[in-house]
Chains A and B, each alone.
Chain A
């Protein structure tokens, strides 16, 4: 137990390191990155054409495989005229944009070096207003790395990391002091993080993040809008730290089950709105640690659907001032958990007439106003015991667990204190937002599986047919 706590403390310390203002550069790009650039001075074929072009020109590159490292130092529009592959040959960065207003579109950029210290990147942008569009970036350490490149557009790129151990991977996408950048319609997979550092007013929409560490990570990035993204099978879906004024809406956060495994984590974040998101099958749908920090503006959670997570929302005991209403809590093993012990009196689980929909609500609605006639109190004896003695989780899903819960309901003396109360629980779920489009096709395998089982079972029964007929055969 003590060791666990110690581990947790160390982990949170480590997580805080980059946040300490005195040494922000520790995990951030080296200040002298441009001078350590690995892009060589000898020019390749594209490099020669770029060198020859006037600022503001548009270059269309012929299809082919180009083994070169490219530096774009002036405003240019450079486009692939077909399948253009720029291969870094497994060393250094590949494309470096140091001039402003560069549009880089339609290329396949692949095979960077794997030097984590030098942060080898496929596309590094060091100037404002870059447009990085429609590229395929694969087999890279860092994918697209923006350093002080405000007002850029990162759109419709597909970024795939090298098949490395997570500790040796780089970030699929990184923004460093790149305010007002728009990140949209990208697919980022098998990287470390997609991360925003000190970047204000960024819009992140319609992106997909798969099989990475942090689907999206905000550090000290304010007024960011995160909408309609999907983050699946990452260690953590979206994690906000020390950021203010964040809108998170319409995102799908599914099966993020790393060691912490949050769909959405909020650490010391202020002025946030979490609306219409879908969190399914995460270790914890939402994780709230010290948010909101300033109590004057409540953290708002509404119209979210949390389903099939181990825990719907995990609160650290310090969390207060959250307003949680009109959400669906469906079949989470623990709908609401408080890490450590404590109650959630400083948070509110309803707003006006609207509480939340709880799949485990046992009350009824006699006057048909859509609101349950009894308050919803989360208090099962087994959950209470688990909070006290975590190792009892081993007995989850067993009939013995139900026996304990039955006793908890039947015997008032052992009924635990409720962790929270929803005064106006909803009888019906609110419309589920952010559902993936197709669902009819994916149920086929299950139906087929069921059919196979049924056929198999009845086939077994047919074994009893007496081959010679007679009364033994016909039942």
Chain B
């Protein structure tokens, strides 16, 4: 369904994607994995035909650069965060994007129900919470039932509950033969949603592995997900780096890979630096492996 053929993309001198080549057959679900700056988002934008890259990408045989309009008809896309016009109504947004996708009519209430937004059609977009906005974006992406879903760190700005619900929703959607390409920082998400994982490092495809093998091969014992207020995140990054950790930023805070016996150590570092941790989750590779297994089982039991 998605053919990525020797794709390279530079921004000025810095290389964002370098000679990436892989295929995603119809019905497959592929996660793009890698640290910030590895080229995940850039590659996704290339797939959508938003950037002028070298190489070629085709969706179901349609070249995304030369035949972009028809190629994008096959794709539903959910970005990390969406800046809708303040005054836009929810139903209105649905109708607008439905028209752009060439749909004559749209059953707004049914569509909203599918993503768990039933009854919110009369609201303005600005009245929705972050999670609800992402659901709306997902509802828009699903308009016209496109065969491909492309998601770019869709849960990064959601809290734990919102994320769990959203991932659950995505899991239900990714069945039924839909092709899924998504970028994520989170091992648990990858384990739940992906069948294969493309690992990116400085723009290069390092390897492509089935999700079970990927989860088994993760080096870290666990990843701490620390929710930290926006103004304190840079300070927290510095403190943790100085404390010997290699933290990564994500939407609501930091991801800190830790050894299984060191799960509490980052808290001490942050406490010394007087940085408040609002919330936290721990994802261990064992947990992730468990998630992956259960996801596979669910898929297999589906009709």
Taken together as a complex, chains A and B put the C-alpha atoms of A269 and B95 apart, in Å, by 79
**Chain B contacts for A471, CB-based, 8 A:** 89-92, 121-124
Taken together as a complex, chains A and B put the C-alpha atoms of A472 and B108 apart, in Å, by 13
Expressed in whole angstroms, the minimum distance between the Cβ of A475 and any Cβ of chain B is 9
* B96-130 vs A, Cβ < 8 Å mask (1 yes, 0 no): 00000000000010000000000001111000000
Interface flag for A470 (CB, 8 Å) = yes
| Closest residue on chain A to residue B88 by CB atoms | A472
**Chain A contacts for B95, CB-based, 8 A:** 466, 468, 472
* A39-51 vs B, Cβ < 8 Å mask (1 yes, 0 no): 0000000000000
Q: Which of A426-475 contact B (CB under 8 A)?
A: 466, 468, 470-472
Taken together as a complex, chains A and B put the C-alpha atoms of A472 and B98 apart, in Å, by 15
Taken together as a complex, chains A and B put the C-alpha atoms of A466 and B87 apart, in Å, by 14
**Chain B contacts for A466, CB-based, 8 A:** 92, 95
Expressed in whole angstroms, the minimum distance between the Cβ of A457 and any Cβ of chain B is 21
Q: Which of B91, B108, B122 is the most central at the interface, judged by chain A CB atoms within 10 Å of its CB?
A: B91
| Closest residue on chain B to residue A466 by CB atoms | B92
| Closest residue on chain A to residue B96 by CB atoms | A472
* A317-346 vs B, Cβ < 8 Å mask (1 yes, 0 no): 000000000000000000000000000000
Which size class do A's interface residues fall under? under 10
Taken together as a complex, chains A and B put the C-alpha atoms of A466 and B99 apart, in Å, by 13
Q: Which of A286-308 contact B (CB under 8 A)?
A: none
Expressed in whole angstroms, the minimum distance between the Cβ of A443 and any Cβ of chain B is 40
**Chain B contacts for A470, CB-based, 8 A:** 89, 91-92, 108, 121-122
| Closest residue on chain B to residue A469 by CB atoms | B91
**Chain B contacts for A468, CB-based, 8 A:** 91, 95
Taken together as a complex, chains A and B put the C-alpha atoms of A472 and B123 apart, in Å, by 10
Taken together as a complex, chains A and B put the C-alpha atoms of A471 and B94 apart, in Å, by 12
| Closest residue on chain B to residue A470 by CB atoms | B91
Taken together as a complex, chains A and B put the C-alpha atoms of A470 and B121 apart, in Å, by 8
Main secondary structure on chain A at its contact with chain B? loop
Taken together as a complex, chains A and B put the C-alpha atoms of A466 and B94 apart, in Å, by 13
Taken together as a complex, chains A and B put the C-alpha atoms of A470 and B120 apart, in Å, by 12
Taken together as a complex, chains A and B put the C-alpha atoms of A471 and B108 apart, in Å, by 12
| Closest residue on chain B to residue A472 by CB atoms | B92
Taken together as a complex, chains A and B put the C-alpha atoms of A460 and B273 apart, in Å, by 60
**Chain A contacts for B92, CB-based, 8 A:** 466, 470-472
Expressed in whole angstroms, the minimum distance between the Cβ of B184 and any Cβ of chain A is 33
Expressed in whole angstroms, the minimum distance between the Cβ of B122 and any Cβ of chain A is 5
* B236-266 vs A, Cβ < 8 Å mask (1 yes, 0 no): 0000000000000000000000000000000
Taken together as a complex, chains A and B put the C-alpha atoms of A101 and B90 apart, in Å, by 94
Expressed in whole angstroms, the minimum distance between the Cβ of B139 and any Cβ of chain A is 15
Taken together as a complex, chains A and B put the C-alpha atoms of A471 and B124 apart, in Å, by 8
Taken together as a complex, chains A and B put the C-alpha atoms of A470 and B123 apart, in Å, by 10
Taken together as a complex, chains A and B put the C-alpha atoms of A468 and B123 apart, in Å, by 15
Taken together as a complex, chains A and B put the C-alpha atoms of A470 and B124 apart, in Å, by 11
| Closest residue on chain A to residue B92 by CB atoms | A472
Q: Which of B250-294 contact A (CB under 8 A)?
A: none
Taken together as a complex, chains A and B put the C-alpha atoms of A468 and B94 apart, in Å, by 12
Expressed in whole angstroms, the minimum distance between the Cβ of A326 and any Cβ of chain B is 59
| Closest residue on chain A to residue B124 by CB atoms | A471
Taken together as a complex, chains A and B put the C-alpha atoms of A454 and B137 apart, in Å, by 39
Taken together as a complex, chains A and B put the C-alpha atoms of A57 and B180 apart, in Å, by 116
Taken together as a complex, chains A and B put the C-alpha atoms of A466 and B124 apart, in Å, by 15
Taken together as a complex, chains A and B put the C-alpha atoms of A471 and B122 apart, in Å, by 6
Taken together as a complex, chains A and B put the C-alpha atoms of A471 and B125 apart, in Å, by 11
Expressed in whole angstroms, the minimum distance between the Cβ of A441 and any Cβ of chain B is 46
**Chain A contacts for B90, CB-based, 8 A:** 471
Taken together as a complex, chains A and B put the C-alpha atoms of A468 and B96 apart, in Å, by 12
Expressed in whole angstroms, the minimum distance between the Cβ of B270 and any Cβ of chain A is 44
Expressed in whole angstroms, the minimum distance between the Cβ of B15 and any Cβ of chain A is 44
Expressed in whole angstroms, the minimum distance between the Cβ of B165 and any Cβ of chain A is 25
Q: Which of B62-98 contact A (CB under 8 A)?
A: 89-92, 95
Taken together as a complex, chains A and B put the C-alpha atoms of A472 and B89 apart, in Å, by 6
Q: Which of A209-224 contact B (CB under 8 A)?
A: none
**Chain A contacts for B91, CB-based, 8 A:** 468, 470-472
Expressed in whole angstroms, the minimum distance between the Cβ of A267 and any Cβ of chain B is 68
| Closest residue on chain A to residue B106 by CB atoms | A468
| Closest residue on chain B to residue A467 by CB atoms | B95
**Chain B contacts for A472, CB-based, 8 A:** 89, 91-92, 95
Taken together as a complex, chains A and B put the C-alpha atoms of A466 and B92 apart, in Å, by 8
Expressed in whole angstroms, the minimum distance between the Cβ of A134 and any Cβ of chain B is 73
Taken together as a complex, chains A and B put the C-alpha atoms of A324 and B122 apart, in Å, by 72
Q: Which of B118-164 contact A (CB under 8 A)?
A: 121-124
**Chain A contacts for B124, CB-based, 8 A:** 471
Expressed in whole angstroms, the minimum distance between the Cβ of A179 and any Cβ of chain B is 82
Taken together as a complex, chains A and B put the C-alpha atoms of A471 and B95 apart, in Å, by 12
Taken together as a complex, chains A and B put the C-alpha atoms of A466 and B96 apart, in Å, by 11
**Chain A contacts for B123, CB-based, 8 A:** 471
* B43-65 vs A, Cβ < 8 Å mask (1 yes, 0 no): 00000000000000000000000
Report the 5 A-B pairs with minimum CB-CB distance, sorted nearest first. Answer: A472-B92, A471-B89, A470-B91, A472-B89, A471-B122
Q: A468-B91, A472-B91 are in contact. List 9 more A-B contacts (CB 8 A).
A: A466-B92, A470-B89, A470-B91, A470-B121, A471-B89, A471-B121, A471-B122, A472-B89, A472-B92
A-B contact pairs, 22 of them (CB 8 A): A466-B92, A466-B95, A468-B91, A468-B95, A470-B89, A470-B91, A470-B92, A470-B108, A470-B121, A470-B122, A471-B89, A471-B90, A471-B91, A471-B92, A471-B121, A471-B122, A471-B123, A471-B124, A472-B89, A472-B91, A472-B92, A472-B95
Which residues from chain B sit less than 8 Å from chain A, CB to CB? 89-92, 95, 108, 121-124
Which residues from chain A sit less than 8 Å from chain B, CB to CB? 466, 468, 470-472
